[in-house]
Structure 1
Amino acid sequence: MSDQIPLKERYEASMVLSGVGDALGYNHGNWEFEADGEAIHRQVKERGGLAKLNVKDFPVSDDTVMHLATADALIEVGKKAKSTLPDLCRELVKKYIECMRDMSGRAAGLTCMSSVALLERRTDGDYKIPFNRGGGGCGAAMRAMCIGLRFPKPEQEHHLIAASVESGRLTHHHPTGYLGAVAAALFTAYAVMGTLPVEAWGHGLMEVLEKTKQYIRESGHCVDQNLHSWGYFENAWMTYLTQRGILDGKSKACFPECYGVKEREEFYRLIAFRNCGGASGHDAPMIAYDALLSAGDSWEKLANHGFFHGGDSDSTAAIAAAWWGAIYGFRGVPELNHKRLEYRDKLIKAAQQLLQLSSKPFNEEE
């Protein structure tokens, strides 16, 4: 279906619907921090269902603010005659510092805030932060989808890996954290290119993880600590893909015969770190992927599976909706859900600029 929808629309939908998912999953913090997913579904039903949710009543959270900051950094660096990875990292630091002024009522993550504050205090111009054993949260993943829009092509994969890792470990210097950014960006690239069936994405990720590990070795920054903590993310994804029967990248996904709200809640807690579904770098993209696999072209089913659940629902929603939009555009999405989204115009403009940049060369070294 994606080849029937203009690429421009799919870029715009990826950015806008990511904001929609975030806003709906967040609901002023009421649904993001609601542990009982069944209660969220009851509240959605009481409001008339998904189609009756007017997004103008749902401000975006820190997820969309930081996603826009990432996009803005990619765009700003892309304007230069020669784009380099160090330039991008310095611009990301600048944009992340600036976006912290727009966090009132948006529930910015503690790891993001503390890391950005550390970067802001630095006077040596270095953007690398120490390894953080507690840096495995989803804050790197929920803002990385636009990297896949900037580097969507297979020949750009090494740029996607480098940009995802380095943008991620500006705040989340732990493989469980920044590998979530790699997954979020990679799957966005897969979605917008449309050359791989969704069931094959997980297999592709496992191959890219090996390339990412090599990048970490070559980067020379806290290599031993990163490699020592590498296995958690990789093993969690191997287990998940095996459960769904798609580790081989060829089979169709297998879901339980009964996979309603209650069953999904139990599964999301099972794959989560400390029972909070979507709060970590490994399971935020995993829950988003699970929702996309199950939903197909149904916006409503995507929301029911990926937006409205106990745990870090706005982050899984932001990621899942970005991928869905990159495949299906705005087809089947009620206008009430997206037309009056906060920052919609900024997201549309960023999408258009990322599309223009997607064919521009990029250099990893200065």
Structure 2
Amino acid sequence: MEETEPSVEAYEAAMVLSGVGDALGYRGGRWEYCTSGPQIHAELAELGGLEAITLEPPEWPVSDDTVLHLATAEGLATGLEGEPLLQELARRYVAAMGDMEGRKPGPTSILGTSQLRPGEPERGRHAQPGHRPQVPPRLGAADADPGYLGALAVALFGALGARGEPPERWGAELLRVLPLAWDYVEGAGVAVGDNAAAWPFFGDAWHRYLESRGLLEGRGPPQVPPLLSPAERDAAYLGWALEGWPGRSGHDAPMVALEALLAAGGCWGDLCARGVLHGGDNDSTGTIAAGCWGLRGGLASIPPGLHCRLEHRGRLRDAAHRLHALAWGRH
């Protein structure tokens, strides 16, 4: 079957709305670190709802998520490949850490970028020889998933969304791709033991989730519970989380986002209620959920205040246009 070219507007909406989900969920750290969905929704009501908000600094900056997302997108948009691309990304990640005032980067990001050495072959793009997979430092490798598998899931979801595949299929495709990812890890020969100990958690968590939603085969309709109240959503997400913070870990940030996409359909408000505004790592889940929603829903139905004055909006738009041209042969 011939692949359908996504529009440049879909790319733009995905990039811009990823920043919207980030800034909205972050709220200068106020909502990212709030563990109560009901409190967040009460504060949103006091503000007048989503339509009354204008996302712009200083109250509504983007977080480290968007700054590093831009570093990745702009690095990929250079068209470099292989080792030159990895060196370029390392350089951009190091530079991005200079734009973290008020954005609260996590300890893993700080440590990982501090050990990058752009310009040095091989070492330049690795945090350190034999670097462990990204797992919370207080957990053993057998107790958590490698965090980069969350990035794999998000990249896959974005690619499937750009191709027009419905979210009902995304999780089953992730399970199909995981063995291919393991073949790559094993072939690379870096920290294979640590990866092998941590690896099963991710796949097992996703298998349980997809089974509970009737989506192991990638066919709908999804069996998503109503979860009408913020408190109900908080309770559900806590059941997936490590250390009591939904969306913090590699397995459950894309899981919360996918759940929101499945439940919201074409309703932006429902997408925000489920995927952005809950008692967890809101900017992370918001970046994923809103970005993926943009691939299918575009910007037309989004309240203008949420994106017209968004920090780094121009860079997000420009990166989207360059990536679309690169992917579809228009230079």
Fold similarity call, TM over 0.5: yes
Q: 1:185 to 1:304 in 2, by over 3 A?
A: same
- What is the aligned partner in structure 2 of residue 22 from structure 1? 22
In 2, Cα distance between equivalents of 1:197 and 1:96 = 32
The structural deviation recorded for 1:132 is 5.4
Contact 2:11 2:324 in 1 (8 A): yes
In 2, Cα distance between equivalents of 1:188 and 1:304 = 21
The structural deviation recorded for 1:225 is 2.0
Contact 1:5 1:329 in 2 (8 A): no
SS class of match (2:244): coil
In 2, Cα distance between equivalents of 1:258 and 1:312 = 19
SS class of match (2:328): coil
Q: Give per-residue Cα distances to partners, 1:102-128, cap 9 Å, x unaligned.
A: 000000111101111111499565122
**Percent identical residues:** 42
1:205 lines up with 2:204 in the alignment: no
1:91 lines up with 2:61 in the alignment: no
Q: Which of 262, 274, 292 does residue 305 from structure 1 map onto?
A: 274
Contact 1:59 1:342 in 2 (8 A): yes
In 2, Cα distance between equivalents of 1:226 and 1:6 = 35
Q: Which of 234, 244, 257 does residue 265 from structure 1 map onto?
A: 234
Contact 1:131 1:225 in 2 (8 A): no
1:75 lines up with 2:71 in the alignment: no
Q: Counterparts of 1:42-53 in structure 2 under 5 Å?
A: 42-53=42-53
- What is the aligned partner in structure 1 of residue 134 from structure 2? 135
- Point out where structure 2 has 5 or more consecutive residues left out of the alignment: 137-143
- What is the aligned partner in structure 1 of residue 139 from structure 2? none
Q: 1:7 to 1:121 in 2, by over 3 A?
A: closer
In 1, Cα distance between equivalents of 2:203 and 2:251 = 8
- What is the aligned partner in structure 1 of residue 203 from structure 2? 234
- What is the aligned partner in structure 1 of residue 159 from structure 2? 189
Q: Counterparts of 1:102-251 in structure 2 under 5 Å?
A: 102-120=99-117, 125-126=122-123, 127-128=125-126, 129-130=128-129, 135-136=134-135, 176-194=146-164, 196-251=165-220
Q: Give per-residue Cα distances to partners, 1:1-22, cap 9 Å, x unaligned.
A: xx99971111000000000000
SS class of match (2:262): helix
Q: 1:90 to 1:240 in 2, by over 3 A?
A: same
In 2, Cα distance between equivalents of 1:259 and 1:243 = 18
- What is the aligned partner in structure 2 of residue 363 from structure 1? none
- Higher mean alpha-carbon deviation, 329-338 vs 121-130, is at 121-130
Q: Give per-residue Cα distances to partners, 1:126-182, cap 9 Å, x unaligned.
A: 122345557236xxxxxxxxxxxxxxxxxxxxxxxxxxxxxxxxxxxx952011000
Q: 1:213 to 1:125 in 2, by over 3 A?
A: closer
In 2, Cα distance between equivalents of 1:260 and 1:293 = 17
Q: 1:228 to 1:310 in 2, by over 3 A?
A: same
- What is the aligned partner in structure 2 of residue 101 from structure 1? 98
In 2, Cα distance between equivalents of 1:61 and 1:15 = 14
In 1, Cα distance between equivalents of 2:6 and 2:85 = 29
Q: Give per-residue Cα distances to partners, 1:85-109, cap 9 Å, x unaligned.
A: 2222111110000000000000011
In 2, Cα distance between equivalents of 1:37 and 1:103 = 26
Contact 2:135 2:146 in 1 (8 A): yes
In 2, Cα distance between equivalents of 1:121 and 1:74 = 16
TM-score w.r.t. length of structure 1: 0.82
Contact 2:25 2:277 in 1 (8 A): yes
In 1, Cα distance between equivalents of 2:197 and 2:291 = 31
Q: Counterparts of 1:324-343 in structure 2 under 5 Å?
A: 324-343=293-312
Q: Give per-residue Cα distances to partners, 1:29-61, cap 9 Å, x unaligned.
A: 000000111100100011111111111241100
In 2, Cα distance between equivalents of 1:175 and 1:95 = 26
Q: Give per-residue Cα distances to partners, 1:194-216, cap 9 Å, x unaligned.
A: 0x221111000100111111111
- What is the aligned partner in structure 2 of residue 61 from structure 1? 63
In 1, Cα distance between equivalents of 2:150 and 2:279 = 19
SS class of match (2:184): helix
Contact 1:190 1:201 in 2 (8 A): yes
Q: 1:6 to 1:219 in 2, by over 3 A?
A: closer
CA RMSD, Structure 1 to Structure 2 (Å): 2.2
Aligned partner of 2:26: which letter? Y
SS class of match (2:269): helix
1:286 lines up with 2:255 in the alignment: yes
Q: Provide the aligned length of Structure 1 versus Structure 2.
A: 317
Q: 1:193 to 1:121 in 2, by over 3 A?
A: closer
In 1, Cα distance between equivalents of 2:185 and 2:40 = 40
The structural deviation recorded for 1:251 is 2.7
In 2, Cα distance between equivalents of 1:21 and 1:351 = 16
Q: 1:175 to 1:35 in 2, by over 3 A?
A: closer
- What is the aligned partner in structure 2 of residue 160 from structure 1? none
